[in-house]
Structure 1
Amino acid sequence: MQHLPARPAPRALRGPRAPRTVRAARVLTPLLVSGLVLAGCGGGGDEGGQEEPAGDEPTSAAAPQEPATWPLTGLEVEGGGDADQPHPAYVVKIDNTASSAPQRGLHRADLVVEELVEGGTTRLAAFFHTRLPQVVGPVRSMRASDIGIVTPAKATVVTSGAAPVTIRRVQQAGITFIGEGAPGVFRDGARSAPYNLMADLADIGTRARKSAPDPAAYLEWGTPEDVPQGRPARRLEAFFGSHTTTWEFGRGTYRNVGSYAAPDEQFEADTVLVLRVEVGDAGYRDPAGNFVPETKFQGTGAAMLFHGGRMVRGTWSKQGLGAPLTLRTPQGPLRVPAGHTWIELVPRDGGDVRVGR
């Protein structure tokens, strides 16, 4: 397996800025696979015509160009490059039960969203754009909830599939997804099905045809100084029904205490963002007869931002499934410090968040 460099530590930005993504023309090999489903398939003077006389005033120097930042982390691009990539952003649907252990590749993700699925358990939507690891998984199926999660990033989803009603809705939303049978999606013989489907994103990325725009900034990125002081909060528990995700703050980052990830592949969160969301019925049941929930990731709700061992309360809003996510406090916009963020979509009804000092 190719050695990948360790994740760089977050670099402080001088202030919030939008990512600069300068697209260079490229010719890349299309991804032609049976498992790939494409959804949707002059001059002029003053009014008087008089020229201003030449003077001795010095000409002003051009304003320095803002450094490029990665859209899914807000971090500056190393080496003065730009954030354009020869591949789209990818979202890998990863199982989040004990059967998934050890999860692979999470430490290379830019951003992770945890969402409710049937039975009160959760599934992860892990975003990859900056770096594409060779082994990610175990890969599981999509949910209708993913439409609101994935669409703002214009991401391609790597999945084991979905119920027919979900596939129709995902296609109608214009989302591209890759499933089993595509190059780069494989079964690991050392694992038991269905928890043995894995993805080689490095291979998938080299085959991609960059037809979609670069992802927009997923959050409004800023610096730690942009976050109100809030209250001390070094521990939080996000309760989904039958599953609880627990985070503890130490040495500058948040650690998922009960993570199923391999010990050296755990996601280190610079920020944990908890959003209280409405959950409805997706309209069908799983093979075990459980109703399948659908997170309504649009509208408004309460938000809790955890950074630096402190917590700030605010609200979130999203005008539609494909719209960007915005955060506010009574004092104004709430910007997320640039870095690696884990978003908890905790049900407004039936879920809970417990905070400890």
Structure 2
Amino acid sequence: MTLRTRGPRQRRVKRSLLAALTVGIVLAGCTVSGPDDDDGRGGDDRRDDQVSSAPAGSVLAVKIDNVRPARPQTGIEAADIVYAEQVEGGLSRLMAVYATKFPETVGPVRSARESDLELLRQFDEPTLAFSGAQGKLLPLIDRAPLRAETPQDAIDAYSRADDRPAPHNLYLRPEKLLDSPPGTEALTTGFRYGPAPDGGSPEASRTVRYPAARFTFTWSDDRRGWLVSMDGAPTITTDDTRVAPATVVVQHVTVRESQFRDFLGNNTPYTETVGSGRAEILRDGRAFEANWERATPTDGTTFTAPDGKALNFAEGQVWVVYARA
């Protein structure tokens, strides 16, 4: 994998007027009101004098908008892993992780959250693509061991579509950030893949509810996967692909208040992904009770059966939905 290279970045106050105007055009339309607006209204006040780089073998993680005006989404069917988390107002947001292949386009891209930094520590300096973040969170992103790429960092990698309103129209071209995907060895998640374990219970459908959002996964023998629906509507991408992961993990975690609020005063939930708890693993039309454990932020997450044996996932895409414990 070869990283796209750029010259050293200087502080924004020293940038030329032309560069500032270009950024302004790219970010036009980010300021909107409503419960699903970006923290900090999509802005990015990160320091520009720090040149970030990612080693060969780092994954690409992209924050994906998941409110109704953002659908249908683009490129999520190509992700190796899709994480779903609760955000302000009881809504949901996705983070798609790419290691084995890149779609041509991914989006709509939205803002980062504090929880993302802990979740991404399991990877070796991943590239995180996002539209911005709450102003007080940006220094934490600067210090995190990741390569942060916003529209201000990589102007040519992002574009806005004209067929839907901002801020639900920002898209990323992954090949503008990384020349090629790093491969499966970069997926240091702790997940195990292989034959289905013994036991389990037949499962036709499972729904996970947030205060203002819900995910439903319905088993399809034809697809050998779980057909995804969000808020009651089938999840079909812009290229008319019905999303159907081979494995769905319902991971019960602590969701607490963070130190951050959006511009409307709504607290940003913090999803704790380090620790232990219970989970359900859905694969092959069956549900398996499990325990999960992640001892430190740099560890992956292990899933074991009640008897302590490791639980295998089915080969293919994995969705991890964080549910309140």
Task: Give the alignment's TM-score, normalised by structure 1.
Answer: 0.71
Aligned equivalent of 1:199: 172
Matched AA of 2:268: V
Which of 105, 109, 125 in structure 2 is aligned with 1:135? 105
Which segments of structure 1 move beyond 4 Å, counting only runs of 4 or more?
Answer: 26-29, 32-41
Distance in 1 (CA, whole Å) between partners of 2:193 and 2:241 is 26
Distance in 2 (CA, whole Å) between partners of 1:277 and 1:175 is 24
Aligned with 1:138: secondary structure?
A: coil
Which of 214, 219, 229 in structure 1 is aligned with 2:190? 219
**Matched positions, count:** 276
| 1:111/1:341 contact within 8 Å kept | yes
Which of 292, 299, 314 in structure 2 is aligned with 1:337? 314
The more displaced of 148-157 and 315-324 is 148-157
Which of 217, 230, 241 in structure 2 is aligned with 1:265? 241
Once the two structures are TM-superposed, the CA of residue 342 in structure 1 deviates from its matched residue by: 0.5
Aligned equivalent of 2:28: none
Aligned equivalent of 1:61: none
Once the two structures are TM-superposed, the CA of residue 214 in structure 1 deviates from its matched residue by: 5.8
Aligned equivalent of 2:279: 303
1:278 pairs with 2:254: yes
Deviation digits for residues 13-56 of structure 1 (CA, Å, limit 9, x no counterpart)? xxxxxxxxxxxxx8765244869976877xxxxxxxxxxxxxxx
Distance in 1 (CA, whole Å) between partners of 2:56 and 2:72 is 30
Which of 270, 276, 286 in structure 2 is aligned with 1:294? 270
Distance in 2 (CA, whole Å) between partners of 1:199 and 1:33 is 22
1:255 pairs with 2:227: yes
1:174 pairs with 2:140: no
| 2:247/2:317 contact within 8 Å kept | yes
Once the two structures are TM-superposed, the CA of residue 347 in structure 1 deviates from its matched residue by: 1.4
| 1:317/1:327 contact within 8 Å kept | yes
Matched AA of 1:305: I
Matches within 5 A, 1:8-23: none
Change (3 A) 1:223 1:249: same
- RMSD over aligned CA atoms reads 2.7
Aligned equivalent of 1:14: none
Distance in 1 (CA, whole Å) between partners of 2:96 and 2:111 is 13
Distance in 2 (CA, whole Å) between partners of 1:189 and 1:33 is 32
Aligned with 2:270: secondary structure?
A: strand
Change (3 A) 1:165 1:264: same
Aligned equivalent of 2:292: 316
| 1:273/1:342 contact within 8 Å kept | yes
Matched AA of 2:314: P
Identity across the alignment (%): 25
Change (3 A) 1:32 1:108: farther
Distance in 2 (CA, whole Å) between partners of 1:253 and 1:93 is 23
The more displaced of 170-179 and 133-142 is 170-179
Aligned equivalent of 2:15: none
Matches within 5 A, 1:23-42: 30-32=5-7
Task: Give the alignment's TM-score, normalised by structure 2.
Answer: 0.77
Aligned equivalent of 1:114: 84
Distance in 1 (CA, whole Å) between partners of 2:261 and 2:118 is 21
1:190 pairs with 2:163: yes
Change (3 A) 1:196 1:314: same
1:234 pairs with 2:210: no
Which of 288, 303, 309 in structure 2 is aligned with 1:327? 303
Deviation digits for residues 65-113 of structure 1 (CA, Å, limit 9, x no counterpart)? xxxxxxxxxxxxxxxxxxxx96631111001110101211111111100
- Unpaired stretches in structure 2, ≥5 consecutive residues: 10-43
Aligned with 1:333: secondary structure?
A: coil
| 2:192/2:311 contact within 8 Å kept | no
Aligned with 1:171: secondary structure?
A: helix
Aligned equivalent of 1:69: none
Aligned equivalent of 2:71: 101
| 2:52/2:148 contact within 8 Å kept | no
Deviation digits for residues 295-325 of structure 1 (CA, Å, limit 9, x no counterpart)? 0111011110000110000110111222210
- Unpaired stretches in structure 1, ≥5 consecutive residues: 1-25, 42-84, 349-357
| 1:30/1:207 contact within 8 Å kept | no
Distance in 2 (CA, whole Å) between partners of 1:39 and 1:292 is 28
Aligned with 2:73: secondary structure?
A: coil
Change (3 A) 1:94 1:33: farther
| 1:314/1:330 contact within 8 Å kept | yes
Change (3 A) 1:260 1:291: farther
Matched AA of 1:276: H
Change (3 A) 1:197 1:265: same
